[in-house]
Every structure is written in structure tokens, then in C-alpha cells.
Amino acid sequence: MNHLVSRGRESELEALRVGGLIEEIDAINIREETDAADNEDIERVYWNLHGGSKNHLRAFVDVLDSRSVTYDP
């Protein structure tokens, strides 16, 4: 992740791109943990976290779109 932080410091647009990428990585990791969970309460927590990552990703994409920059998750 350190390389992503460094990359994000290059410019505001790159920080937005990196933010989107981090949310994608988080969503994948959370989904993997959800699939491995054997407790309904834990699964619910993971699904809520997954939803949060999707919302954050959507926010990054919207900001980039408002600057005429295409981001393809």
C-alpha cells in the first residue's frame, strides 16, 4: 500500500484514482472474508463494509467524472 500512497501524492487526480483502486481492493478482500465467514453476524458486518466500499468507490468515480476523467473500476 505504501506505493499507492506515494502514487497518490503525485497529483490530486492521481489521489482520486488511487482512492478508487484502494476501494476496489478493499471490496475484493471483504468479499473473500464474507465468503469464508461461518457466522451470520460476521457476514452481515462484512456485507455492510462491502456496501461502504462500493459507495466510496462510486464517490471517487463521480468526482473524477465531474472533472471529465474516466475511471473504469
Its domain, for residue 28, covers: 2-66
Tell me how far apart the alpha carbons of residues 17 and 10 are, in angstroms, rounded to a whole number.
Answer: 11
Where residue 16 sits, what CATH number does that domain have?
1.20.1260.10
Does residue 27 form part of some domain?
A: yes
Inform me whether the pLDDT recorded for 73 exceeds 90: no
User: What would the pLDDT profile of 1-59 be if each residue is shown by its tens digit?
Assistant: 789 999 999 999 999 999 999 999 999 999 999 999 999 999 999 999 999 999 999 99
Does residue 73 form part of some domain?
A: no
Residues 6 or more apart whose Cβ sits within 8 Å of residue 67: 13
Does residue 28 form part of some domain?
A: yes
Q: Could you give the 3-state DSSP secondary structure of residue 68?
A: coil
- At residue 54, the pLDDT reads 95
- At residue 22, the pLDDT reads 96
